[in-house]
DNA sequence: GATGCGATTCACT
DNA sequence: GTGAATCGCATCG
């Protein structure tokens, strides 16, 4: 796979990952929605924009490894590291269609109303695969880790690929680095970044209307 | 050393 | 459509 393409080309890599399948713990998911992130001061929205830290260090390692991070105090998200070693880039796996192990995925996602919801949204995708922080830094291409990337079993029609701004990111809203399969029912609903309200104690909030 | 906010989801109105 | 829950990292004093 083209995971080792130059980091700057990560949007192309993200697009190419649509249709690719991710397998873990008895569940296989066909990717329908991804987002590209670039490090090294070229993408303010990326965890790796301001250099390597203990949290994002995996992004600076070799391509094909999993970058799993914890967000909002409750959820995990899964990225595939891209680009050459030392030049950080990654693709966030946002959503997909469960093509194998739906029974297991339903047990792991009891609140899903339909099978389309099983891996709809980045944290839901992670829960369907039953992976967690222990998967951070493991290879997704060696076949020896908990996660495995597999070539598409069904090709994606290039005419069906749509792109737009990334979901929920405050910075770089002009970059169309989110890619998805148009019309696919497993693609998560777009939500623009909502500024957090900073309610200082002792000070009145914004005037109610 | 303290503080603020985020690549989200779910329940409720 | 909107708000709460909740942990770690980066930033600032």
We report the CATH number of the domain holding residue A169 as 3.10.300.10
A76 touches strand B (CB under 7 A): no
Residue A190 in any domain: the answer is no
Q: Which domain holds residue A64?
A: 7-148+155-181
Average pLDDT, chain A: 90
Q: Could you say which residues 81-100 of protein chain A have a Cβ atom less than 7 A away from any atom in strand B?
A: 90, 92
What mean pLDDT comes out for the span A39-68?
92
* HEC secondary structure over A174-195: CCCCEEEECCCCCCCCCCCCCC
Residue pointed to by tokens 């569940």: A27
Question: In strand B, which positions have an atom below 7 A from any protein CB?
Answer: 4-11
Q: Classify residue A208: in a domain, yes or no.
A: no
Q: How far is the CA of A193 from the C1' of C5 (A)?
A: 19
- Residue A191 CA and nucleotide B12 C1' are separated, in Å, by 19
Cβ-proximal residues to A208 (8 Å cutoff; 6+ apart), any chain: none
Give the total number of structural domains in chain A: 1
In-domain check, residue A29? yes
Given a cut of 50, whether residue A208 has pLDDT beyond it is no
A207 has pLDDT over 80: no
A193 inside domain = no
Indicate whether A201 belongs to any domain. no
The SS3 assignment for A8 reads: helix
Q: How far is the CA of A9 from the C1' of C13 (A)?
A: 40
């Amino acid at each position: 796979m083209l995971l080792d393409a130059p980091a700057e080309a990560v949007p192309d890599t993200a697009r190419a990952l649509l249709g690719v399948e991710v397998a873990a713990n008895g569940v296989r998911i066909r990717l329908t929605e991804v987002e590209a992130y670039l490090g090294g001061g070229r993408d303010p929205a990326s965890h790796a924009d301001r250099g390597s830290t203990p949290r994002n260090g995996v992004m600076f390692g070799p391509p094909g490894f999993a970058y799993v991070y914890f967000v909002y105090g409750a959820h995990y998200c899964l990225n595939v590291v891209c680009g050459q070693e030392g030049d950080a880039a990654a693709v966030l796996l946002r959503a997909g269609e469960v093509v194998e192990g739906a029974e297991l995925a339903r047990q792991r996602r009891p609140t899903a109303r339909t099978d389309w919801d099983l891996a709809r949204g980045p944290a839901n995708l992670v829960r369907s695969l039953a992976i967690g922080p222990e998967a951070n830094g493991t290879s997704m291409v060696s076949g020896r880790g908990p996660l495995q990337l597999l070539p598409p079993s069904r090709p994606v029609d290039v005419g069906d690929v749509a792109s737009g701004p990334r979901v929920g990111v405050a910075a770089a809203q002009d970059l169309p680095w989110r890619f998805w399969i148009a019309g696919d029912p497993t693609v998560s609903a777009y939500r623009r970044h909502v500024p957090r309200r900073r309610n200082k104690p002792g000070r009145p909030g914004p005037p109610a209307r």
